[in-house]
Chain A
Amino acid sequence: MDDRQAAELISRSLLGSLSERDQARLGDHLASSPLSQTYALLSAQIEEVVRSSSQLESPDSPGEQQRDERLSEFSKARMRVLLEQSRQQQSDVDMSDRRVAEPPEPYSTDPNAEPPQA
């Protein structure tokens, strides 16, 4: 096995889709190739770094304001306007729906009854 093939097996191993036989082959190769071994370790470390940072960065931590990545005030203002427009549209649709949903005035079967007021 060469280093390129070993790198592919390392990827499969990190993906959890390596057979026991290939795992053994990879183990033999890593024992004799310091650079492949370093690559395996580095790849695992990179995944761990990315994974741990994504766990720290949760979208449900609104109080966390010390990070430099923030929406600009301009973007926030635009979003507020869009949300307000959307709310207005929703409100218009709701009113329209209510008008459609209102049951019509029932016709009276009483021949002496007054006609319904407009």
Chain B
Amino acid sequence: MTTSHIPPEDWVDKYGDSFYRYAVKRLQNPEDAEEVVQDTFLAGMTHHTAYLAASSGLAWLITTLRRKIVDRIRQRQLASSSEAASRSEIEATLFDQRGRWRSSARLTAATSNEEWRELEGLVKRCLEKIPRIQADVFILWVMEGMKTDQICAELGITGDNLFVRLHRARLSLAQCVSSGWPTEK
């Protein structure tokens, strides 16, 4: 074992919190996040030879953690696949029958540092609120930086389906962020 491979009994104390924060941000669910961190450590134990063979033990654990996060997202997407078929209510809320923005759609973008910080907080809260089937693909795309073909392969969906989910995620986020924006703006 090299210095880059700390012993398994120290993993929880050394990596537990940072792995958990990383996972909870992507999964938007504390229980799921806790479970993937636990699964990651157990995988490190089960495949300890592979862990020791890696040039960096931490990098091996992080790769495993990311793999577990994607697996969890895939399971959630399968569980909520029926949601994808339903018509997006958000579009009906944002656009009128002629396809124009409704006057009630108070869309405003951040224009100052203070607003930018406000936006960060709002986006975080909105990611927890929007439908998971939308948030998950958005997180894989933006946070994990996965390519479209990778996401499609992981989730077993078509490119068009991915596009629709991302599109709805953006509309939902824009709607949620705008509705939480300070009214005096």
Name A's B-contacting residues (CB within 8 A).
2-5, 7-8, 10-12, 14-15, 17, 33, 35-36, 38-39, 41-43, 45-47, 49-51, 53-54, 57-62, 64-65, 67, 69-71, 75-76, 78-80, 82-84, 86-87, 90
The answer on a CB contact under 8 Å between A59 and B100 is no
The answer on a CB contact under 8 Å between A49 and B24 is no
The answer on a CB contact under 8 Å between A49 and B120 is yes
Mostly, the B contact residues are: helix
Nearest-neighbour CB distance to chain B for A23, whole angstroms, equals 16
Q: How large is the interface on B (under 10, 10 to 19, 20 to 34, 35 or more residues)?
A: 35 or more
A-B contact count (CB 8 A): 159
What residues of A have a CB within 8 angstroms of the CB of B163 in the complex? 11-12, 15, 17
What residues of A have a CB within 8 angstroms of the CB of B101 in the complex? 3, 33, 35-36, 39
Q: CB within 8 A of A59: which of B8, B18, B48, B95? A: B18
**Alpha-carbon distance between A79 and B9 when the two chains are bound, in angstroms:** 10
The answer on a CB contact under 8 Å between A62 and B15 is yes
A76-B16, A83-B12 are contacts. A3–B21 as well, Cβ < 8 Å? no
Q: CB within 8 A of B17: which of A14, A41, A70, A78? A: A70
Q: CB within 8 A of B170: which of A4, A14, A53, A64? A: A14
What would 19 more interface pairs be, CB under 8 Å, given A15-B166, A76-B12, A90-B48?
A: A4-B100, A5-B99, A41-B109, A42-B178, A45-B110, A45-B119, A49-B119, A54-B25, A54-B26, A54-B142, A57-B21, A60-B62, A62-B18, A69-B20, A71-B12, A82-B38, A83-B45, A86-B46, A87-B45
